[in-house]
Chain A
Amino acid sequence: DAGVIQSPRHEVTEMGQEVTLRCKPISGHDYLFWYRQTMMRGLELLIYFNNNVPIDDSGMPEDRFSAKMPNASFSTLKIQPSEPRDSAVYFCASSLSGVLSYGYTFGSGTRLTVV
C-alpha cells in the first residue's frame, strides 16, 4: 500500500488566494482526519470524516476553511481567502474504524506558506 498520499507537498500563495489541499487515504480505512501543525500550537485537529461523512468540524478555525470527502478515496481541504496566519503544515491521516489500537497513519503533509 502506498500509504496516505497528500498533494501538493509545498504550496506558496499570496494572501487572498484560494488554496486546495488534497488527500488520498489508505484503501479500506474509513476514518479520515485533517490536522494542522504549527510550532506554537502543535498538532490541531481541524475536521474528521467517517465513511465520507463529516463527524466533527469544531476545529475548523473559521468559515474560510472548508473540507469535503466526495468518496472513500479522496478528500480536500480548501482555504478561501488565505491569510498569512494560515501558514502551517497540514497533515491528512486515516485509520480503521474501531481499531484505535493501530492509531493513525499520516500522510507526508503539505507545507503551506501564505505571503
Chain B
Amino acid sequence: QKEVEQNSGPLSVPEGAIASLNCTYSDRGSQSFFWYRQYSGKSPELIMFIYSNGDKEDGRFTAQLNKASQYVSLLIRDSQPSDSATYLCAVNIAGGGNKLTFGTGTQLKVEL
C-alpha cells in the first residue's frame, strides 16, 4: 500500500463547477496535510495546508480532513480553465521530521 494515494485522473469538470480532489493516506499518525498545484512543466506550488479535522477555506479552495477515515480532500469552487493542472497531496508522516511524502497527483481539466 502506498503511503499517499490519489486517483491519477484526468478529472474533467465544466467551467464554474465544483472540482473535488481526494487523497488517502496510510499512516494514522500523520499530522499535517498539504495540497500543491503543478502546472505542466512547472514546479509544485503550495495551495493550502490543514492540520485539524474539518474544513479550512481559502478563497475558492476548501481543504477537508477526516483523520478517522484517513482522507483529505480539496474542493475548488467556481472552477476556471486556469485551474487545469495536476494537484499533489502531501503528508507529513509521524516521526518523519520535516519531510513530506507526496501522492502521484490528480490531473484536473476544467473545460469551457
Residues of chain A at the chain B interface (Cβ within 8 Å):
31, 33, 35, 41-43, 45, 48, 50, 55-56, 91, 95, 97, 100-109
Contact = CB atoms under 8 A, between A and B. Distances in A.
Interface in B86-112: 88, 90, 92, 97-105
Contact of A108 (B43, B88, B97): B43
A90 B43 CA distance: 10
B101 to A, nearest CB: 7
A109 B101 CA distance: 18
A104 B100 CA distance: 9
Contacts of B101: 45
B102 A100 contact: no
B34 interface: yes
Interface in B29-71: 32, 34, 36, 42-46, 49, 51
The 5 closest A-B pairs by CB, nearest first: A42-B104, A106-B43, A43-B102, A103-B46, A103-B34
A42, A48, A95, A97: residue with the most chain B Cβ atoms closer than 10 Å? A42
A106 B44 contact: yes
A2 to B, nearest CB: 14
B4 to A, nearest CB: 9
Contacts of B49: 100-103
Interface residues of B, number: 22
B36, B43, B45, B102: residue with the most chain A Cβ atoms closer than 10 Å? B43
B44 A45 contact: no
15 contacts: A35-B102, A43-B44, A43-B88, A45-B99, A45-B100, A48-B99, A95-B98, A97-B98, A100-B32, A101-B49, A101-B51, A103-B46, A103-B100, A104-B100, A109-B43
B102 A42 contact: yes
B97 A55 contact: yes
B60 to A, nearest CB: 19
Given A42-B102, A42-B104, A102 B46 contact: yes
A100 B98 contact: yes
Contact of A106 (B34, B45, B99): B45
